[in-house]
Structure 1
Amino acid sequence: MKSKISLLTLGTEDIKRAAVFYKALGFVVHGEEDEDHVMFKAEGTWLALYSKDLYEKEMGIAPTGEFSGVVMAHNVGSKEGVDEVMEEARAAGGKIVKEAYETYWGGYAGYFQDPDGHVWSAAWNPFTDLT
């Protein structure tokens, strides 16, 4: 297997609400939107929104808990960039989990949740360019 993540799919209770949130963050829809899924082409990968109900039917397990242990990151080139992403998330209706702060490892990061509770990190890493 190649060490590559080609698609990240987020289960959602409300496809339309989630799509509005991600469009407000600058994601562009690829193809047709419907009540069960939406696809976005991102730089170097894909993001999909998929009905939690359909996932449960397909896999036989239901998503549970407030935090799944998974955090997606949007890395930027500066502290100011982190602040901008956090404001975009807030304006789009995201819930700020933790305002941007100086991290213990020397970076700068903040955390927000999308309307379905998926956690995102907006981060600047002064040691490794992850942008």
Structure 2
Amino acid sequence: MEQRVSLITVGVDDPETAAGFYEQLGWERVDSPDGVIAFDLIGQTLGLYPLSALADEIGIDVGTLGQGALTLSYNCRTKEDVAQVLSKAETFGAEVLKPASDVFWGGHHGYFRAPDGTIWEIAFNPFSKLGPDGAFRWNGY
């Protein structure tokens, strides 16, 4: 198995409403005939899929899903961008869980919960500069 993540699937109650939030943030969905609402990222795809259908596909009870702690992270190019992204997300219905603030290790971040329940960390890491195309690597480019 190669060391990568190709698709991040988020089980949501209402995929169209969830997709609307990401579209308001400026993301563009791509065609997908299989019931997944897909957004191509840099090197991965984020897929929104009905929660009950995801449980059926896996073969487990829907109540079992959503029990794991998980955050998705979006790294910004500048420290100032963190507060801007949090504000934009809040404008479109996200709940800011932690406002932009400095972190003990030298970075800057905050968290929001999207209307679909997904928790996002918005961060600036001065030690992991983004690539020219916005790609992230732990130790930077």
TM-score, normalization: structure 2?
A: 0.83
Whole-Å separation in 2 of the counterparts to 1:56 and 1:125? 35
Whole-Å separation in 2 of the counterparts to 1:24 and 1:32? 19
Q: CA deviation at 1:126?
A: 1.0
Which runs of 5 or more structure 2 residues have no equivalent in the other structure? 135-141
Matched, 1:95 2:95: yes
Q: Secondary structure at the match of 1:16?
A: helix
Structure 1 outlier segments of 4+, above 3 Å: none
CA contact (8 A) 1:9 1:48 kept: yes
Q: Percent identity?
A: 34
CA RMSD of aligned residues (A): 1.7
Q: Secondary structure at the match of 1:30?
A: coil
Higher relative contact order, chain-length normalized (CA < 8 Å, sep 6+): 1
Q: CA deviation at 1:29?
A: 0.7
Q: Which range moved further: 36-45 or 56-65?
A: 56-65
Q: Which is richer in strand?
A: 1
| Equivalent residue number for residue 25 of structure 1 | 25
Q: Deviations over 1:76-101 (max 9, x none)?
A: 11111111111111111111111111
| Equivalent residue number for residue 71 of structure 1 | 71
Q: CA deviation at 1:32?
A: 4.7
Q: CA deviation at 1:104?
A: 1.6
- Mark the CA change 1:48 to 1:64 in structure 2 (over 3 Å): closer, same or farther: closer
1:1-131 aligned at under 5 Å gives the runs: 1-32=1-32, 36-59=35-58, 60-62=60-62, 63-65=65-67, 68-130=68-130, 131=134
Q: CA deviation at 1:61?
A: 3.6
Whole-Å separation in 2 of the counterparts to 1:23 and 1:85? 14
Q: What is the identity, as a one-letter code, of the residue corresponding to 2:49? A: Y
Whole-Å separation in 2 of the counterparts to 1:76 and 1:49? 23
Q: Which range moved further: 8-17 or 53-62?
A: 53-62
CA contact (8 A) 1:33 1:39 kept: no
TM-score, normalization: structure 1?
A: 0.89
